[in-house]
Amino acid sequence: MNLYESYLYSWGLYFRVSQSSLPRTTANQIWMSFLSVYVIVLTTCYSSNLTAFLTVERAGVSMETVRELYSSNLDVVTVGFFFKVSLEESGNVYLKGLATRYKGLSNYQESYSSLIKGEAVLLETKTYLEYLIATDFTLRGKQSMRILKECYAPYSIAIALQKNFPLKKRFDKVLGWLYDTGILRQWFLNLLRSTKVSKKATTDAGSENSELEAEDAGGSKSIALSIDHLQGIFYIHLAGLIISTFLFFSEMCLCNESCRSRRE
């Protein structure tokens, strides 16, 4: 089998077509061995993902910006009317439009039914929304509520000191270090984990929700395959190509030398 036939043989592997002949030279055999492993992994992953794509229903297109939220005609709900004033005073026309659909509630539980039905959105700080999603809107590792990517008004929390306080610069430096280390974020994530554990411990053991949460705690979360998981087989394929190419040229040199010796 020459190099041209080997390329045709390799294309047959991609389409899973059985071949009547096998490579005879050492270089082609090594190359086809590496190529066969590469093709098996690639075609199996492609077939599996294609089957999952055809059988599992994909989620619809979600909103990511304030403009898309305004076009959806959904109500904006939260506790109190603090955010309504902020929306009305905004220079963004879409945020002002959301102020007309603003509904103030007395507690967050009143908004749960409309959130689950997809009839309204909850306007709150990002940390509280992350806490709410982790504690009340996550079941068996699946979240039923998400956070809009675009933040309409970033708020900051500061420490008030006396005017001309001599240690203000040192306070700013220490607080900056504390924020840059990421320890505040880590504390918040630890709080979410401890809150979820405490809520699981207080739920009724005989209820259906507690059984599902216990199953979620002992189960494993599935991860979709990506190019990061499959890059190893590409490295193996590349190594096979390099080795087989080196052997091919070595055999060519040996053949040329043998032909020259016979002529002499």
Domains of the chain in sequence order: 1-52+173-264 (no CATH), 65-149 (3.40.190)
List phi, psi (to 5°) of 77.
-125, 150
List phi, psi (to 5°) of 74.
-85, 150
List phi, psi (to 5°) of 104.
-85, 135
List phi, psi (to 5°) of 121.
-125, 150
Which tokens go with 258? 């043998």
Q: Where are the alpha helices (DSSP H) in 93-205?
A: 93-99, 109-117, 126-136, 168-180, 183-202
Query: Tell me, what's the pLDDT at 70?
Result: 87
Q: What is the mean pLDDT for each group of 10 consecutive residues in the chain (264 residues)?
A: 67 74 75 80 83 72 81 86 83 86 85 83 85 80 80 74 83 82 79 72 52 48 62 80 85 79 70
Bridge partners (DSSP) of residue 78 are: 104
Give dist(CA 230, CA 32) in Å, integer. 19
As a dihedral over the C-alpha atoms of residue 109, residue 199, residue 178, residue 148, rounded to 10 degrees, the angle is: -40
